[in-house]
Amino acid sequence: MAELKVGDRILLLDEDGFLDNAADWDEEVAHVLATTEEVELTQEHWDIINYLREYYAEFGVAPMVRKMLKDTGKKQSEIYTLFPSGPGKGACKIAGLPKPTGCV
């Protein structure tokens, strides 16, 4: 299993680089995760990340992409500009959310 070195912490990642344990997340982790995605975090990124964190805290899953766009007022293309791997594999990963599964 892959590992992520954040400061002196060693965090476990899954095969796709998602945090194995969502509770490990903090802002410092986000920065390190962002480097694996080759993203420099700006305020715009943080808006999305914070939105995802809040949503996840309340609902236990990532939001539907459509809902995320509506709630953040961003277009899909803008999300892709911010997170080249897309809302799921990019934004959710940096925000420390787990991968979505099932028939989706």
| Residues recognised as catalytic | 103
Quote the least distance from Cβ 103 to another protein, whole Å.
Answer: 4
Chain positions contacting another protein, by CB under 8 A: 1, 14-16, 58-61, 64-67, 70, 89, 99-104
Least separation in angstroms between residue 28's CB and another protein is: 24
What's the half-sphere exposure (Cβ side, CA atoms, 13 Å) at 39?
Answer: 27
Nearer residue to another protein within complex by CB, 8 or 57 = 57
Give whichever of 7 and 102 is closer to another protein, judged by the CB atom.
Answer: 102
Cβ atoms 25, 101 nearer than 8 A: no
Sequential DSSP letters for 58-72: HHSSPPPHHHHHHHH
Contact 52, 63 (CB under 8 A): yes
